[in-house]
Amino acid sequence: MSTNQRPFLQSPALEARSFATGTTAAASATATLAELADDAATGNPGQRMTLGKIVNDGLTFDRFASTYYIAAGAARFLRVCFEVESAYAAGLQTWLTVGLAIQDSAGNTVSPSSTAIPYGLKNDVDYSAWFNLGAAPRFASGQRPVFWLDVEALITAGLVAADAPWRFAWTISMHDANAYLRGLQVEERAQFLIDESAAFGQIPTDYLPRYAVVDGTPGGMQRLWETVRGGNVANLRTYHGMSRGDTSPWLVSATSFAPFGSDTESTGVAARYRVRGRRMRGATACPVRWCVLYKFTGGSAGQTATVKLTTGTGSTTVTVSWADNTTWYTSALVTGASLDNTTTHDDVVWSGLVSTSGPILSVAARYVFDDPSP
Amino acid sequence: MSTITTASRWIALPTAAGAADRARKNQPADGALMQVLSSNATLACRENGLRTLWERGPAEVYLNTPSPHPDQPEWMPWNVQTETGYLIDYAGTHRVRSWGETGFSPRIVLATRGSVSSALYDLVIALYVLPLAGYPDNFTPYAVARTNSTSTADLVAVYTLTPEVISAGARHEVPSPGTSPPVPVTEMGPDAAVALYVGAYCTSNSSGQKALLGGLTIYLEEPA
């Protein structure tokens, strides 16, 4: 198997007339197309996960939050970065630790003790922050450690890419009431190494001047369309990815669709989150899928709750049944939703209901992903 | 002279690696196939770089930027002890690239909706862009939007990236998972990123005259 290290990321310009009928085929054109295909498939991966500011109440110092990811193959590495800050006003030190466990939708789990979870994300390192009033602004007072997660290593450790989405369960253990997490960010890393053993990828040297075009297995011309196609089907955007700590979820207890509490732009009106759908087919709606992390408390057998996602093209729902009062569950990955591409942007709006008055539906994470058609 | 690099629309072909794959083994390559593939790949390079970067839930704001610089976004008080009354947030550090093959830079959009209690006051949102994470100061470039509407109105601040900002945020990172046993580094290379900060204030400067902010989103969109 061959590999090719891309020295830098570029999207080469390739004019349509390079391949005009009657034009002599040139190795430079096909080698450029190989580079372009690689960049389409792996140069702009678009999934990310974010946590906002996470604090504690001074009584319980551990906080839990979840984010979601679909391992579609566009990225091998995930870049993890968080910022630790302190509310102390006089230069006192405080710190926190971060732990990560990952579970796929079939229940396969990678725990913090796994070798696939890097040191520093095993609740094993104290990350400190200082704040000196009047001198160092708080935004610059904390550490910003960076970690790398290897998706292939996570799959080797037991996760299954097809069992999507993967739930990233974060544990933030704070030393005292003044420690807090400013934000946590996970971003797919563009790939610099093209590997023929992967699902797609083109080796530009398969198209050398004065040599025969490589048409082997699995390299060369045969993987050209497969690689280009990866630029559509394997490159997923996270259009909307909001998570709240398990102690401050969005709540709904209405028996007809209503906004989640604290998620309104004015009284009784649900907040609208603007997104731009990927425009692969002009004004045709952009298909998306979504899930939520929920807990259904105070209910009994037979009671249900429903979450609705509304966009410019309509709404889709997921209905869950009461099971117990304590467990957080990931909903099914809802398909059939889409984003309106007839205008410059669309809005994502959430609402929910419970089947009978009394129980409360708590939602701690809401994620909307691409769901591209081939 | 302008040139055509993409039809700006994904053109479907028979399933890759299937019996009808137009690029299957021993299948003659033709100019039309190559044009379709390069058009699709170019479109994907353009569109895949445009994505949502960050979002945050609604908030109430009522404090003005501090005297002697009221209503001046460059004087947002980033070092305040408490964020109550302002919206002050770090929106993360994000990879950015030129828009496909064009060399043009994408725009960063901060979009929300909001209202004030009286038309006498302004609700102001601002997006601050730094090449590296740190904290903004009064020299940090920003884009701003404001409203004095008492009914909920769109607020959209648009920052046009420049090649200079993108290149200033160049980073050479080597993915080296800190696992045990250590795994060899298999790839490396440079990319570029920008750090984003969000601020919002209201010129009422009174907790009795609060402005309402709806959901906030930051996303990348194509160049103008």
Q: Which of A188, A214, A231 is the last residue of a domain?
A: A188
Q: Which of A188, A204, A224 is the last residue of a domain?
A: A188
Q: Are residues A144 and A258 in the same domain?
A: no
Q: Which residues of A touch B78 (CB under 8 A)?
A: 137-139
B189 and A228: CB-CB below 8 Å? no
Give pLDDT tens digits along chain B (224 positions). Answer: 468 999 999 999 987 777 888 888 888 778 889 999 999 999 999 999 999 999 999 999 999 999 999 999 999 988 776 778 999 999 999 999 999 999 899 999 999 999 999 999 999 999 999 988 888 888 999 999 999 999 999 999 999 998 888 888 888 888 888 776 777 778 888 889 999 999 999 999 999 999 999 999 999 999 99
How many CA atoms does the CB half-sphere of B218 hold within 13 Å? 28
Q: Are residues A62 and A173 in the same domain?
A: yes
For chain B, the 3-state helix, strand and coil shares in percent, each to the nearest 5, are: 10, 35, 55
Continuous segment of H or E residues that includes residue A37: helix A27-42
**The domain spanning residue A52 has which CATH number?**
2.60.120
Q: Which of B181, B101, B103, B174 is nearest to A193 (CA)?
A: B174
Residues of chain A falling short of pLDDT 50: 135-136
Structure tokens at B8: 């700006």
Nearest residue of B to residue A214 by CA position?
A: B25
Eight-state DSSP code of residue A258: B
On whether residue A332 sits in a domain, the answer given is yes
The parent domain of residue A301 ranges over 247-370
Which one of B37, B183, B188 has the shortest CB-CB distance to A150?
Answer: B183
Interface of B with A in 27-66 (CB under 8 A): 29-32, 34-35, 37-58
State how far the Cα of A49 lies from the Cα of A234, in Å rounded to an integer: 17
Q: Are residues A132 and A252 in the same domain?
A: no
CB A325 within 8 A of CB A343: no
Q: Are residues A183 and A54 in the same domain?
A: yes
Structure tokens at B123: 């609700």
**Interior CA angle at A320 toward A318 and A324, to 5°?**
155
Which one of A8, A14, A265 has the shortest CB-CB distance to B212?
Answer: A265
Output the pLDDT for position A355. 97
Structure tokens at A34: 């190989």
On whether residue A150 sits in a domain, the answer given is yes
CB A67 within 8 A of CB A364: no
Q: Which of A280, A304, A249 is nearest to A373 (CA)?
A: A280
Cα distances from A288 to residues A185, A311, B9, B70, B165, in angstroms, run 22, 10, 18, 43, 32
Structure tokens at B35: 């044009």
**The domain spanning residue A304 has which CATH number?**
2.60.120.260
Q: Are residues A349 and A252 in the same domain?
A: yes
Cα distances from A309 to residues A48, A98, A236, A263, A337, in angstroms, run 20, 31, 19, 13, 8
State how far the Cα of A223 lies from the Cα of A231, in Å rounded to an integer: 13
A13 and B5: CB-CB below 8 Å? yes
Q: Is B167 helix (H, G, I), strand (E, B) or coil?
A: helix
CB A290 within 8 A of CB A334: yes
Residue B119: what are its φ and ψ, rounded to 5°? Answer: -70, -5
Q: Are residues A163 and A264 in the same domain?
A: no
Output the pLDDT for position A310. 98
Cα distances from A239 to residues A307, A371, B211, in angstroms, run 18, 11, 27
Q: Which residues of B touch A18 (CB under 8 A)?
A: 34, 38
Q: Are residues A260 and A148 in the same domain?
A: no
Q: Are residues A69 and A141 in the same domain?
A: yes
Output the pLDDT for position B137. 87
Structure tokens at A184: 């946590």
Output the pLDDT for position A137. 57
Structure tokens at A276: 């731009």
Q: Which residues of B touch A77 (CB under 8 A)?
A: 175, 177
On whether residue A118 sits in a domain, the answer given is yes
Structure tokens at A56: 């504690």
A14 and B42: CB-CB below 8 Å? yes
Q: Is A125 helix (H, G, I), strand (E, B) or coil?
A: coil
Residues in chain B: 224
Domain count along chain A: 2
Helix and strand element counts for chain B (H, E): 2, 11
State how far the Cα of A352 lies from the Cα of A258, in Å rounded to an integer: 6
Output the pLDDT for position A56. 87
CB A308 within 8 A of CB A299: no
On whether residue A242 sits in a domain, the answer given is no
Q: Are residues A184 and A253 in the same domain?
A: no
Residue B159: what are its φ and ψ, rounded to 5°? Answer: -110, 125
On whether residue A218 sits in a domain, the answer given is no
State how far the Cα of A136 lies from the Cα of A104, in Å rounded to an integer: 42
Q: Which of B212, B106, B38 is nearest to A276 (CA)?
A: B106
Q: Which of A188, A210, A227 is the last residue of a domain?
A: A188
Nearest residue of A to residue B114 by CA position?
A: A265
Count how many pairs of residues, chain A against chain B, have C-beta atoms within 8 Å.
297
On whether residue A222 sits in a domain, the answer given is no
Is B24 buried (19+), middle (13-18) or exposed (0-12) by CB count in 10 A?
middle
Cα distances from B193 to residues B88, B115, B165, in angstroms, run 21, 32, 9
CB neighbour list of residue B64: distance below 8 Å, 6 or more residues apart: B70, B71, B201, B202, B203, B204, B205
Give which of B33, B48, B166 to mutate to test A binding, by max A Cβ within 10 Å. Answer: B48
Q: Are residues A177 and A298 in the same domain?
A: no
Q: Which residues of B touch A282 (CB under 8 A)?
A: 8-9
On whether residue A335 sits in a domain, the answer given is yes
Sign of CA dihedral A208, A213, A217, A223: positive
CB A151 within 8 A of CB A77: yes
CB B21 within 8 A of CB A20: no
CB neighbour list of residue A73: distance below 8 Å, 6 or more residues apart: A161, A198, A199, A200, A230, A234
On whether residue A211 sits in a domain, the answer given is no
Domains of chain B: 15-48 (no CATH), 50-221 (2.60.120)
Q: Is A372 helix (H, G, I), strand (E, B) or coil?
A: coil
Residue B211: what are its φ and ψ, rounded to 5°? Answer: -100, 145
Structure ipTM: 0.95
Structure tokens at A92: 């006192």
Output the pLDDT for position B132. 83
Count other Cβ atoms within 10 Å, centred on residue B37.
27
CB A271 within 8 A of CB A258: no
